[in-house]
């Protein structure tokens, strides 16, 4: 089945889903986005993702102009047309077409891109992945914008070395996050994660709940490269990858080089929670409009 996307609420075949060349997302690189998977065909944590989307869009003057119900309708239609069991959903918002001055615009644009989920392989979860570090500061680290320019050097290094992810390291030597993920470290029963110069992760927040329930102690603190190198376990978290174990950072093997027990048990519990939450939220939306 061909891919279908939604432009301003209208679902179209991918080859008909077009955005103007005058859109400020294209002309000036101004945009915000969110990504999430579906569980049982329903988007996970859609309300939380939309709240963060509007927080990011407010930085370029865009207030909420479509609803959670609008997005659910688009996802349901794309899911039906796609034939895929699950989807990776991306919602993008831009100021819209340029009309005057530098950033003058008319009506804003919103796009829903939903494709086959393409999560990491079972082998990646079973054997773990590698990551590299690089020195750079992410632009607007607390907002999720379409501008990934600061991460290009890191991603190029990751590709060159065969690594899955690249972690930002500040000039002061602190690890903040991955280019496309949050980073977490386990030492004993302490689960540690940066709390400065990083995106407040929706997945990370959900993982925290599950991890604490299973007996880990949560710490938000600054981390260095050495904290990663000497960790019992290193994870990256993101909406589609959930919890992905990292068994090598730069030239350093993490612990025994195998996936740790906490990564496996916490991810299993987290996935179970995601299915339940996605179904609950979808039913709540139905009940609200009966």
243 and 132 in a common domain: yes
What are the helix and strand counts (H, E) for the chain?
Answer: 8, 18
245 and 196 in a common domain: yes
What total of structural domains would you count in the chain?
2
Per-residue pLDDT tens over the stretch 256-265 = 999 999 999 9
Let me know if residue 287 belongs to a domain: no
CATH number assigned to the domain comprising residue 55: 3.30.470.10
262 and 150 in a common domain: yes
pTM score, whole prediction: 0.96
CATH number assigned to the domain comprising residue 159: 3.20.10.10
Closest Cα to residue 112, out of 58, 55, 53?
Answer: 53
Three-state SS at 96: coil
Let me know if residue 34 belongs to a domain: yes
268 and 149 in a common domain: yes
> Tokens 């796009």 correspond to what residue?
111
Q: End of a domain among 116, 137, 171?
A: 116
Domain holding 206, by residue range, is 122-275
Q: End of a domain among 116, 143, 158?
A: 116
Q: End of a domain among 50, 84, 116?
A: 116
250 and 153 in a common domain: yes
Closest Cα to residue 96, out of 22, 32, 147, 33?
Answer: 22
pLDDT tens, residue order, the chain (290 aa): 789 999 999 999 999 999 999 999 999 999 999 999 999 999 999 999 999 999 999 999 999 999 999 999 999 999 999 999 999 999 999 999 999 999 999 999 999 999 999 999 999 999 999 999 999 988 889 999 999 999 999 999 999 999 999 999 999 999 999 999 999 999 999 999 999 999 999 999 999 999 999 999 999 999 999 999 999 999 999 999 999 999 999 999 999 999 999 999 999 999 999 999 999 999 998 888 76
């Amino acid at each position: 089945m061909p891919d279908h996307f939604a432009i301003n609420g209208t679902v179209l075949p991918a080859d008909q889903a077009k955005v103007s060349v005058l859109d400020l997302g294209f002309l000036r690189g101004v945009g915000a986005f969110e990504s999430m998977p579906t569980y049982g065909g329903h988007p996970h944590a859609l309300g939380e993702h939309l709240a963060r989307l509007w927080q990011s869009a407010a930085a370029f003057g865009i207030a909420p102009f479509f609803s959670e119900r609008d997005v659910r309708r688009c996802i349901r239609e794309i899911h039906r047309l796609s034939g895929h069991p699950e989807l990776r959903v991306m919602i993008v918002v831009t100021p819209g077409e340029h009309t005057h001055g530098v950033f003058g615009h008319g009506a804003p644009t919103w796009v829903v891109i939903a494709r086959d989920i393409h999560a990491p392989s079972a082998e990646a979860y079973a054997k773990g992945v590698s990551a590299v570090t690089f020195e750079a500061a992410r632009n607007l680290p607390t907002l999720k914008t379409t501008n990934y320019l600061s991460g290009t050097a890191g991603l190029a290094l990751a590709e060159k070395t065969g690594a899955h992810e690249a972690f930002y390291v500040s000039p002061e030597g602190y690890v903040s996050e991955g280019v496309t993920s949050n980073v977490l470290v386990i030492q004993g029963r302490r689960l540690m994660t940066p709390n400065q110069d990083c995106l407040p992760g929706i997945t990370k927040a959900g993982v925290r709940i599950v991890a604490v329930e299973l007996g880990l102690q949560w710490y938000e603190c600054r981390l260095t490269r050495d904290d990663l190198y000497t960790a019992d376990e290193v994870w990256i978290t993101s909406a589609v990858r959930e919890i992905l174990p990292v068994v090598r950072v730069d030239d350093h093997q993490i612990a025994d080089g195998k996936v740790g027990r906490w990564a496996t048990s916490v991810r299993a519990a987290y996935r179970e929670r995601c299915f339940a939450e996605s179904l609950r939220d979808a039913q709540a939306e139905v009940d609200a409009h009966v």
